[in-house]
A and B are shown apart, each in its own frame.
Chain A
Amino acid sequence: MTTSIERRNALYGNDVACYERMVEIREFEKITNAFFAAGSIRGTTHLAVGQEALALGIASTLKPTDVLAGTYRSHAIALALGLTPHSVLGEIMGKATGCCGGVGGSMHMCDTSVGLLPTSAIIGGGMPIAAGAALAFQVQKSKNVSVALFGDGATNIGAFHESLNLAAIWKLPVIFICDNNIYGEYSRIDKTTPIDDLHNRAESYAMPHMAIDGMDIHAVRKGLVEAVERARSGNGPTFIEAKTYRFSGHSRADQALYRPAGELEKWQKRDPLLVTEQDLIERKLITQEAIDSIKSRAEVELGVLAQQVEKDPEPDLSAMFSNIYTPKKVVK
């Protein structure tokens, strides 16, 4: 069985592997959506369709010893960082095989072996935590960096501003990546935020900032490499605004009927899978036949996996009482 770290290591220096992982994420979210529609998953879910390039750009640039604090929309980043589809789907379905043993659910991904800190269901909740992780790296004189990955909606919450300010004055090795997919829950950004270019908010914290094309893995890597370099060399935080688009509604309950006509179609032309396919074909790293076979293989493999996960064991009653406090050491 492939481990998270093996899946992570497979990405480095291998653009085709990154593309395959993007396809995996896309197919995975199709299954998640279908399971929800069929009622075999309870609660809520937040799909990350359209955000695959950002996830893979991050995963193929950060080291597994770097850490990332994410959000309730974390299926893509979890799979990209290396979590197996089994552990992610298991968690979404509340199975004992899930990455959180089935007690977390769709919004709560975690695997410390590849640097994924528990993702937060609270807007902005992970941002001070990412700054704190970076503080630890600074104190410990480690070369690791920390990433806060959050949405555009989070830029209006207090934790955003406090984290940026703290990171700036303490020169913390943290990178703030804003996944600006234009929608905060059910509201388009222009209704909640008076500016379009959110990275400009970093200016008032004297923090280097940039906007990148979040639909293009190369653009993501280029921006992130610069930021990581700055952080690892002790020169403090960077703010990156990745321009992306949320192809799905906010959550299962949301059909996104509020989108302006034509907006989704316009962004679908910049679908990160399409952009990556064109790039790989141009660079002769892949053929159309290979693309087709990657897609059909992912569909088949994930379909088989989904059936398997449905049959996975439910967590034992004791799981409800576990991991609340650190167990006392047994003295022999």
Chain B
Amino acid sequence: MTAMRVRQAIVAALADEMRADENVIFFGEDVAEAEGPFKTSEGILEEFGPVRVRDTPISEMGFTGAAVGAAMMGLKPVVEIMFIEFLGVALDQVVTEGAKMRYLSNGTLSVPMTIRASVGSGLGFGCQHSQTLEHWFASTPGLKVVMPSDAQSAYSLLRAAIQDPDPVVVLEPRILYAERGEVETGKIAEIGKAVMRETGSEITIVALGHMVNVAQDAIQAAGVSADLIDLQTIIPWDREAVLTSVKKTGRLIVVEEAPLSGGWGSEIVATVSAQLFSSLKSAPFRITTPDVPVPFNGGLEARYAPTSKDVARQIKYALSQGGVPEPWWVVEGVSR
């Protein structure tokens, strides 16, 4: 085990894959000479050289699409998108081209590419640089989508993503880049497999990315016995882990850093409700952000994503009242 920051775990995973397979190439904006705006490619250019490690112009559609093409010809490109919003101009290449190539080639072509993008709120980057936007990809068959929650998962998921024969989108919570953790290098995740962060009996909590840490603090604060499932993969998500846990606890809360409307957690709640309806002790529900853009002001942004305090309140409510608590903005009378 080695202690490293999340951003260093990302560098380590990329370097390990580039050492293991010379088909792995890496490019993006200011990732080579400047070693990444968030220092997620420190030393990569130096070790692997300018043929495999490249700075690109500010041309996300061009270089993301080029990754699709290069992947179809046998390379394993990894591209970095500085802020997930910058992928907006390249969505066609990811969702409509890359994700469809195997389908449209009668199974003769693969697109073994990885898209890394920083996501999330909390750092004062404003509403055009703070979204998570999982749902851009979550309804696209052909893509896989993963999100790490700590240094180990950042390492293990990235290695799995690069090794995967299909296009994988790795959404990295920007707020975690500087966080430290113990990493077992060489440990590769299984895409589609959730990780049990905590085990308990009263309630199942499913979370993703930084919200796993928030939920863990909330469970402690609430003093309850909970299964905390770090989903890690949004598509294909680990139904078995979630259904097994909820069968045991009879209760489910999903914690999401995304707007109430259209979030990935709706899919979890819908599946659990349909499959385990008769064994549920109370209605499954989601804790999300309000349906608002991410505000810049620090005081407001601190209220945007679910907080451990508010998640603890809702866990306690669910266990004591048995119903679904109102979100904070309704409780506080700020919005409906």
Q: Footprint of B on A, CB under 8 Å?
A: 42-44, 94-95, 100, 102-108, 120-125, 153-154, 156-159, 184-187, 191-193, 253, 258, 314-315, 317-321, 324
With A154-B58, A184-B58, A187-B57 given, name 19 new contacts (CB 8 A). A42-B124, A100-B296, A103-B300, A108-B128, A122-B88, A122-B89, A124-B89, A157-B89, A185-B58, A186-B30, A187-B33, A192-B56, A193-B57, A258-B34, A314-B299, A315-B295, A320-B295, A320-B303, A321-B290
Given contacts A44-B124, A185-B30, contact A103 B57 (CB under 8 A): no
Residue count of chain B within 8 Å CB distance of chain A:
40
**Residues B268-291 near A (CB distance < 8 A):** 290-291
Q: Judge whether A157 and B126 touch: CB under 8 Å.
A: no
Q: Judge whether A318 and B296 touch: CB under 8 Å.
A: no
Q: Select which of A124, A159, A318 is within 8 A of B334 by beta carbon.
A: A318
Q: Footprint of A on B, CB under 8 Å?
A: 29-30, 33-34, 37, 55-62, 85-86, 88-89, 123-129, 290-293, 295-300, 303-304, 329, 332, 334-335
> Cα distance A120–B55 when bound, in Å?
23
Q: Select which of B85, B126, B292 is within 8 A of A321 by beta carbon.
A: B292
Q: Judge whether A185 and B124 touch: CB under 8 Å.
A: no
Number of A-B residue pairs at CB separation under 8 A: 130
Neighbouring A residues of B291 by C-beta, 8 Å: 324
Q: Judge whether A94 and B57 touch: CB under 8 Å.
A: no
Q: Judge whether A122 and B124 touch: CB under 8 Å.
A: no
Q: Judge whether A121 and B57 touch: CB under 8 Å.
A: no
Q: Judge whether A156 and B300 touch: CB under 8 Å.
A: no
A91 CB to nearest chain B CB (Å): 8
Q: Judge whether B296 and A103 touch: CB under 8 Å.
A: yes
> Cα distance A245–B82 when bound, in Å?
24
Q: Judge whether B292 and A324 touch: CB under 8 Å.
A: yes
B265 CB to nearest chain A CB (Å): 21
Q: Select which of B124, B290, B292 is within 8 A of A43 by beta carbon.
A: B124
Q: Judge whether A103 and B334 touch: CB under 8 Å.
A: no
> Cα distance A56–B332 when bound, in Å?
46
Q: Which are the 10 A-B pairs with shortest beta-carbon distances?
A: A43-B124, A105-B296, A42-B124, A94-B297, A156-B57, A192-B57, A121-B128, A105-B126, A186-B34, A321-B335
Q: Who on chain B is nearest to A151 by CB? A: B58
Label chain A's interface by main secondary structure.
loop
Q: Select which of B55, B86, B128, B293 is within 8 A of A187 by beta carbon.
A: B55
Neighbouring A residues of B89 by C-beta, 8 Å: 122, 124, 157-159
> Cα distance A124–B57 when bound, in Å?
13
> Cα distance A95–B124 when bound, in Å?
13
Q: Select which of B34, B62, B86, B126 is within 8 A of A106 by beta carbon.
A: B126
Given contacts A42-B123, A94-B298, A185-B58, contact A321 B329 (CB under 8 A): yes
Q: Select which of B34, B125, B295 is within 8 A of A44 by beta carbon.
A: B125
Neighbouring B residues of A157 by C-beta, 8 Å: 58-61, 89
Neighbouring B residues of A104 by C-beta, 8 Å: 126-127, 296
Neighbouring B residues of A185 by C-beta, 8 Å: 29-30, 37, 58
Q: Judge whether B298 and A42 touch: CB under 8 Å.
A: yes
